[in-house]
Amino acid sequence: MSNIIQTRNLSFSYSGKDKILKDISFEVPRGSVYGFLGPNGAGKTTTIRVLLGLLFAGREKVMIFDKFIEKHKIDIYKKIGALIEQPSLYNHLSAKENLEIVCIYRNMNPDRIPEVLDLVKLPVNSRKKVKAFSTGMKQRLGLAMALLPDPELIILDEPTNGLDPEGIREVRDIIIDLNKKKNITIFLSSHLLSEIEKVCSHVAIINHGHLLFQGTIEHLRASKEANYRVLIETNDIEKAYSLLADKYRMQKSPENLYANLRSKEDVSPLIDLLRSENIIVYQIKNEIESLEDIFITLTKSDSHD
């Protein structure tokens, strides 16, 4: 599978300030939905602005469609759609009228307007003004604008930010449809871990400007950070936790106790240790770590300033 985006040792800082991005290198496979995941302030939006040529991070650091962004901006822009933060809309106009204005100032054929409105599930001939739209509808109109040039790649910065559960589901379904039915590669940033898990085939994790992981969701689950995690049911959670915490990476809640082991071979010694202190073990069962569990483990272990 060829790559549609490649970065090499990408760093960026504003003049006189500490680096926001620190030598990050990643590859976005063509045809993927690539999630760029990190907490607020990790460097996600800065990375996107560099990818789009809005910020300059040095020569030959970013390739899109096998071309360096600083040398071939116009050719690259023709194949990209982007939605960065909230879309800029004319509230006194309808969805169709907003798109007609975009076509005029970008010199694009307006014949695609009905198609893109249909793709984002907005009515084509509605006279409803944007000022009466829900936040989710406005975000979908922003997606329609990004689709007007018939792009091969769409870059989205926190596309579900500020949406209610219904709006999140609508945007999620559109992203999946665009990728599967139109074969559009989608690069999206988010801190909503559950959404990344539901829509993305690949993921990169960034924190403090450092890239901590990149690969498929399956590879992330199988990585060394995704250990063999077990739920332990016992008669004394506090005593069991104190006993095991020196030997294993533990997590606990009032009702549950979890141990992160290297492999299932560690289960028997763990049981023996508990029994040696007369702690009753009712049940031990394997629990697959969610993407959120792995993300928290990775970002907590990242000690970079």
Evaluate whether 153 touches 185 at the Cβ level (below 8 Å): yes
Concatenating the DSSP letter of every residue in 98-167 gives HHHHHHHHTT--GGGHHHHHHHTT--SS---BGGGS-HHHHHHHHHHHHHTT--SEEEEESTTTT--HHH
Could you give the CA distance from residue 15 to residue 197 in angstroms, rounded to a whole number? 36
Ranges of CATH 3.30.70.3400 domains, the chain: 227-287
Could you give the CA distance from residue 146 to residue 140 in angstroms, rounded to a whole number? 10
Could you give the CA distance from residue 110 to residue 221 in angstroms, rounded to a whole number? 44
Residues, the chain: 305
Higher pLDDT, 156 or 229: 156
Helix, strand or coil for residue 258? strand
Q: Give the domain 1-215 fold.
A: Rossmann fold (3.40.50)
Q: What is the pTM of this model?
A: 0.80
Average pLDDT of the residues in 3-12: 96
pLDDT one-digit tens code per residue, 64-79: 999 999 999 999 999 9
CATH architecture of 227-287: 2-Layer Sandwich (3.30)
Identity of the amino acid at 162 = G
Instruction: State residue 302's pLDDT score.
Output: 65
Could you give the CA distance from residue 53 to residue 62 in angstroms, rounded to a whole number? 9
pLDDT higher than threshold 80 for residue 289: no
Average pLDDT of the residues in 46-59: 94
Could you give the CA distance from residue 60 to residue 245 in angstroms, rounded to a whole number? 48
Could you give the CA distance from residue 234 to residue 274 in angstroms, rounded to a whole number? 9
pLDDT one-digit tens code per residue, 213-268: 999 988 887 765 456 889 999 999 999 999 999 899 888 888 889 998 888 889 99
pLDDT one-digit tens code per residue, 164-219: 999 999 999 999 999 999 999 999 999 877 888 899 999 999 999 999 999 998 88
Range from 135-149, 159-173, 185-199, 277-291 carrying the lowest mean pLDDT: 277-291
Ranges of CATH 3.40.50.300 domains, the chain: 1-215
